[in-house]
Each structure stands twice: as structure tokens, then as C-alpha cells.
Amino acid sequence: MTFDRCVAICQPLRCAAIMKPQLCIHLVVAPWVTRFTLLSYHLVILSQLTFCDSNEIHRFFSPLFKLSCSDTRLLWKVDSVFLSFVILGSLCLTLAFYMCI
């Protein structure tokens, strides 16, 4: 958690007042809700794929795409966009907090 470190370093005397239990709960729950929401699109698109060859899968998502007879380009594009959003978003947020420190 970068936010709590930023508060502890930049405003040490107000840290206890800012970091209330409700805020801590929000800081823990928000990434879980975001990840669940971003993963749900993946499961919806996966549920619409059709399969025609072997049903043996050694890992999960990538081999599942290869087994599918359906066109999986949309799923790869959506995955790339959301993955970029998540990685770049968390990187920018971390950098912003460290710039405040």
C-alpha cells in the first residue's frame, strides 16, 4: 500500500486521523473489486467460445484460446487493453505517491 506510506511520511502527525479503519477497508477492498470486475469480462467472452479438438488443457487461458475453433482475436485485444490499463494505472498511481514523498 503506497498511499499509507505517503501519508505516514508526508503528514506524520495527521497519519492516525487520515488512516481511519474505514479508509483502510476501502484500500483493501478496492483492488479486489476492480480485479473481479476486470476478470468478469474475460469469463463472459470465454463462455462464448466453441471447441472442436482435444479437451486436455495443461495450463488455463492461453491453451484454452488455442483449443477454441472460434475467433479469439477480440479476446486477445480486450485482454491487452485491460492489462495495459491495470499495469499502467497502478504504475502511475505508485509514481504519483512517490513523487509526493
2-13 per-position pLDDT tens digit: 777 778 788 888
For residues 62-83, give the mean pLDDT.
Answer: 73
Distance (Å, whole) CA 77 – CA 97: 30
Each as own residue / partner, the long-range contacts of residues 19-27 (CB below 8 Å, 24 or more positions apart, any chain) are 27/1, 27/3
C-alpha cell at 17: 486521523
pLDDT in tens, 75-95: 778 878 888 888 888 888 888
